[in-house]
Structures are given as C-alpha cells and as structure tokens.
Amino acid sequence: MSTSTLDHAHDHDHAHDHPHGLSRWLFATNHKDIGTLYLWFSFIMLLSGGVLALMIRTELFKPGLQFFQPEFFNQLTTMHGLVMVFGAIMPAFVGFANWMIPLQVGASDMAFARMNNFSFWLLPPAAILLATSFLVPGGATAAGWTLYAPLSTQMGPGMDMAIFAMHLMGASSIMGSINIIVTILNMRAPGMTLMKMPMFCWTWLITAYLLIAVMPVLAGAITMTLTDRHFGTSFFNAAGGGDPVMYQHIFWFFGHPEVYIMILPAFGIVSQILPAFARKQLFGYASMVYATASIAILSFIVWAHHMFTTGMPVTSQLFFMYATMLIAVPTGVKVFNWIATMWKGSMTFETPMLFAVGFIFVFTIGGFTGLILAVTPIDIQLQDTYYVVAHFHYVLVAGSLFALFAGFYYWSPKWTGHMYNEAMGKTHFWLSLITFNITFFPMHFLGLAGMPRRYADYSAQFTDFNMIATIGAFGFGLSQVFFLFFVILPTIRGGKKAADKPWDGAEGLEWTVPSPAPFHTFETPPQFK
C-alpha cells in the first residue's frame, strides 16, 4: 500500500484491495466509508419513515375515513415508529460515531474494522424485511412500535418479519457498541486521558454501554413473543397462566434507556458545537460527564412511568414518579452548562450553531412536557393521547434530529472537503424549526382535549388543530427534501473548498483569543500521520 494511500485515508487492511465502485462499499473496513454508509442508510430510512408519517397525517387532515382503513392506518403508525427509531436515528448516530470517534481520540480506525463492516450490512436486510412486511398476508404488524402483547401474539406473518428485523438491528447495535467502547478505551492517543476526551466521545462511550445492557432485553421480549406465537408457550397469554403486563415491564426496561440512547449522542454533538461558535471552552466539562453518566444510570429505574394505567400499586406509582423527576436534575445541569457556555461568548450564528441553539430551545420544551407526564395523576389522564405524541416528537425530532443536522453542518466540511452553502443551510434551519412547531405544538392541545393516538378517525371538535398539524407536517417533509437537493448533494459534488479550520473566525471575524479547535484538541500522533 502506498504511503499516499495511508496518508489519505488511514485505510485498514483490506480496503485497498477493492478500491473502485461497488466493492469499495461492500468490503469497506475504513471507518470513514462505513460512517458514510450509515449516514446514507439512515437518511434513506428518514425519508421512508417520513412518507409513512405523511400518509398518517393525510388521513387525519379531516375527520372520517378518507384514504385508509383503521387496520392499515395502525400498520402505518407501527412501521413509522420502528423505521424512525431503529432505521433513522440510531444508525445516524452510529454513522457519526464511526466518522468522528477515531479522529477525536487519535486512532487510525475503529478497533474491529471487519466487525464494523458486518454491523452495518446487517441493517439493509432488516430494512428490507420491514418494508416487505406490508406485502405479506395481513400486512405489516399493527401492534404499535412497542409490539404489546396480546395484540402482537395475534398478528400475521408481518409480525414475525418485524421481530426478525429487530433481532438483526439489535445485533448490529451490540457489535457497533463493542467497537466504540474498545476504540475509546484502548486506542486513545498518548496523553489523552478520559477526562480530556471531547464530549461526543464521552456521550457515545456511555451510550454504547447502555446499548449492550438493554438490547438483549428487547431480544428476550420479542423472542418470548415469537414462542408465544408459534411454539405454544404462554409467557404473555393470560389463558395459559401468562401475564400480558409482564411484556410491558420487559419492553420498557429496554425502551426507556433506549430513549436516552437516542438523545445522549445528540448532547455530545451540541456540546462540541456550542464552544466552537461561542469561542469559549465548554462550561463545566466534568459536570457534563457526570450528568451524562447519571442520566444513563437513572434511565434504568424509571421504566414503569410508561405503565401508570396498568393498575400498579400506589407505592410503585410514587416511586416511578419521583425517579422520573430525578432525571430532570442532570438534564437541567446540561442545559444550564450549555447556556453558561454561550454566556458572554463571542457568538456567531452559522447553521450548526443555529441548529444547536434551536435544539436547546425545542428539547427543553420536550423535557418539560416529559416532567408533566411524570406526575402520575396527570399521566393517567393524558396517557395515549396526542399530548404524549407531542412530547416525544419534541424530544426525538427536535432533539435527536436537530442535533444530527447540527453535526452534519458542523463536520461536513471535514468529511467532504467542501463548504456547504450557508444561505441554503440557514433556510433549511428556519423551514425545519417553523414547520416542526406548526406540526407538533397543536398536538399538545389535542391531547389536553382528549384526542387518543393511533386512531384513524376523530370527533369533529379536533378538526382545526389536525388540519394545522398536517399542513406543518408536509412543510417539514419538504424541508428535508430541500436539505437533500440544496445542501447535501451540492456539498458532496463540489462547491467552495473548505478551509483547514472552517470555523475559525467564522463570518470573516478575526479573534485575538485562539478559538478551541472544533475537530482535534491535540496533534495527531506521528505513527498515524
């Protein structure tokens, strides 16, 4: 392998055997190529899941059944959830991890390059399984993305396809996590202690441990469902001595840490971007690390706040209520530290900074509605209404997705060597922020008025807010198409060459104080040059 190839890509063993065309991607062991594959896969899944969401919103534009039967409508809501959670948001963050963690810790590649390739290539078959489940008898599963028993034990073969797809995606997540943990713990450059790592590495290290802890729990829940369906067991079948509520306990023991798996890497990205554009160090680095770890640990003791209406004892309700409120403390520490980082900073508002500040604003709204839902008597009223839908979309769309956009705008000059069009980026931000709020803010009112989720029809008094939400949803969807055609593709194809440090003295401002380097906080060690 020539020196120039090594310099160019830090390529691992076999990447140079397949330098051209399709085989370059099929056999990629280079962390950058695999990161790119993850990002493209997740963007395709984002658009697919978005189409399902727009079908849902189209049906809900007016009361009455317009386009879809309730059974198919429920298949849409289920598949929208599964595709977005396991196909869009999680792989996107793994793509970021693959691209940035070796660069940030000074490693030549991820620890296990071929396992990295395998963990990606498990995802497309899983996506195909989910997509084709619409075509089998009975269609895709309509049990909701949570796949609650006893519904999930009664569905057609689409349910089995969903279970198999989730097993594949879970295996992929576990392998990716092992890779990330070993890379961070064993391959840091000399002198980079754990407490000197960039925040993105910290949040991913903690996330990877969460994934390894909870993915097998999900695998257990869906395997028990599978044996209930086909092998005569009665784990969740009350008639055979089983307990359907036990499914919820097992699922949410996975499901609640999963929510933090989808937001912690976002915290890491935002914690990298704010200091760069405020031209200050991150306020309270150590407290950010401890807050992230506390959130991860506490996420294991709050699962039953999803189950206040299942008839649990008042003692349990109180415990889960207080434990859930406790999570607001480390989260509040993070928000305080972000604001303190910006305080009196020399801020400029390029697109990454806009998305990062937008993230703090909308994520905080989502956090507050979560705190409201933690209060048991309130939750019993609002359970399974559109208030809950509004809450988790504020956290996952305006939280995870906005952070992913911020990270793309921040790091794409490094990835592509080209600068995106700033005017187009800002347009994408304002379109996304405004249409997102038009879509999901009215849902708080729908929920408070009592509109249940996962229904294809509704009473006439909910019409106005549903119409507003549907118009907003199409605007939000079109904003992401705009992002593809006016930001991503032009940036990849070319455009202005990116500077070596694209964010130093942004907007042509010169700083006497040296700004923190956005990508590397240290010199690359000589053996990796």
Query: What are the pLDDT digits (tens) for 144-202?
Result: 999 999 999 989 999 999 999 999 999 999 999 999 999 999 999 999 999 999 999 99
18 three-state secondary structure? coil
Which pLDDT tens digit goes with each residue over 2-49? 333 333 344 444 444 445 678 888 888 899 999 999 999 999 999 999
> Residue 13 has what pLDDT?
42
The residue assigned the tokens 């359907």 is 244
Q: Percentage of the chain with pLDDT > 90?
A: 86
Instruction: Name the active-site residue from 48, 299, 331, 479.
Output: 331
> Residue 504 has what pLDDT?
74
Question: Does residue 287 have an active-site annotation?
Answer: no
Q: Does a structural domain hold residue 73?
A: yes
Instruction: Name the active-site residue from 80, 188, 279, 280.
Output: 80
Question: Does residue 334 have an active-site annotation?
Answer: yes
> Residue 17 has what pLDDT?
46
Residue 178: partners with Cβ closer than 8 Å, 6 or more residues away: 112, 115, 208, 212
| Spatial distance between the Cα atoms of 378 and 144, rounded to a whole number of angstroms | 23
Question: Does residue 453 have an active-site annotation?
Answer: yes
Domain with 442 in it: what CATH number? 1.20.210.10
Q: Residue range 367-389: average pLDDT? A: 96
Q: Does residue 163 contact residue 230 with C-beta atoms inside 8 Å?
A: no
Q: Does residue 220 contact residue 170 with C-beta atoms inside 8 Å?
A: no
Alpha helices by DSSP H, listed for 187-284, are: 199-230, 244-261, 264-278
> Residue 22 has what pLDDT?
84
**Position 438 pLDDT exceeds 80:** yes
Instruction: Name the active-site residue from 33, 160, 228, 258.
Output: 258
- Per the prediction, the chain carries an average pLDDT of 90
Instruction: Name the active-site residue from 99, 260, 394, 409.
Output: 260
> Residue 19 has what pLDDT?
58
Question: Does residue 510 have an active-site annotation?
Answer: no
- Look up the domain containing 171 and give its range: 29-511
> Residue 506 has what pLDDT?
52
| Spatial distance between the Cα atoms of 433 and 524, rounded to a whole number of angstroms | 37
What is the rounded end-to-end Cα distance, in angstroms, of the chain? Answer: 15
Q: Angle at Cα 514 formed by Cα 512 and Cα 517, nearest 5°? A: 150
Instruction: Name the active-site residue from 10, 334, 393, 444.
Output: 334
The residue assigned the tokens 């997705």 is 401
User: How many CB atoms are located within 10 Å of the residue 161 CB?
Assistant: 22
Written as one letter, the residue type at 197 is M
> Residue 500 has what pLDDT?
84
Q: Does residue 109 contact residue 97 with C-beta atoms inside 8 Å?
A: no
Question: Does residue 260 have an active-site annotation?
Answer: yes
The model's confidence at residue 381, banded by pLDDT at 50, 70 and 90, is: very high
User: How many CB atoms are located within 10 Å of the residue 154 CB?
Assistant: 11
> Residue 516 has what pLDDT?
43
Instruction: Name the active-site residue from 18, 114, 453, 501.
Output: 453
Question: Does residue 256 have an active-site annotation?
Answer: yes
Q: Angle at Cα 154 formed by Cα 150 and Cα 160, nearest 5°? A: 105
Q: Does residue 183 contact residue 105 with C-beta atoms inside 8 Å?
A: yes
Which pLDDT tens digit goes with each residue over 64-114? 999 999 999 999 999 999 999 999 999 999 999 999 999 999 999 999 999
> What CA dihedral angle connects 41, 45, 48 and 54, to 10 degrees?
-140
Question: Does residue 32 have an active-site annotation?
Answer: no
Instruction: Name the active-site residue from 145, 285, 338, 409.
Output: 145
Instruction: Name the active-site residue from 167, 229, 306, 393.
Output: 306
Question: Does residue 418 have an active-site annotation?
Answer: no
Question: Does residue 305 have an active-site annotation?
Answer: yes
Question: Does residue 71 have an active-site annotation?
Answer: no
Q: Does residue 436 contact residue 399 with C-beta atoms inside 8 Å?
A: no
| Spatial distance between the Cα atoms of 56 and 456, rounded to a whole number of angstroms | 8
> Residue 507 has what pLDDT?
41
Question: Does residue 258 have an active-site annotation?
Answer: yes
Which pLDDT tens digit goes with each residue over 285-318? 999 999 999 999 999 999 999 999 999 999 999 9
Q: Residue range 461-472: average pLDDT? A: 96
| Spatial distance between the Cα atoms of 21 and 188, rounded to a whole number of angstroms | 32
Q: Residue range 459-467: average pLDDT? A: 96
- Alpha-carbon separation of residue 322 from 298, 304, 309, 311, 318 (angstroms): 11, 12, 17, 18, 6
Q: Does a structural domain hold residue 516?
A: no
Q: Does a structural domain hold residue 523?
A: no
Q: Does a structural domain hold residue 429?
A: yes
Instruction: Name the active-site residue from 78, 133, 152, 271.
Output: 271
Q: Does a structural domain hold residue 268?
A: yes
Q: Does a structural domain hold residue 140?
A: yes
Q: Does a structural domain hold residue 473?
A: yes
Which pLDDT tens digit goes with each residue over 224-275? 999 999 999 999 999 999 999 999 999 999 999 999 999 999 999 999 999 9
Residue 395: partners with Cβ closer than 8 Å, 6 or more residues away: 259, 263, 363, 366, 367, 370
> Residue 332 has what pLDDT?
95
Instruction: Name the active-site residue from 256, 391, 393, 428.
Output: 256
Domain count, the chain: 1
Question: Does residue 243 have an active-site annotation?
Answer: no
pTM of the model: 0.91
Instruction: Name the active-site residue from 133, 173, 177, 439.
Output: 173
Instruction: Name the active-site residue from 11, 33, 59, 109.
Output: 109
> What CA dihedral angle connects 120, 123, 125 and 127, to 10 degrees?
-150
- Alpha-carbon separation of residue 434 from 65, 362, 420 (angstroms): 29, 11, 22
Question: Does residue 172 have an active-site annotation?
Answer: yes
Q: Does a structural domain hold residue 50?
A: yes
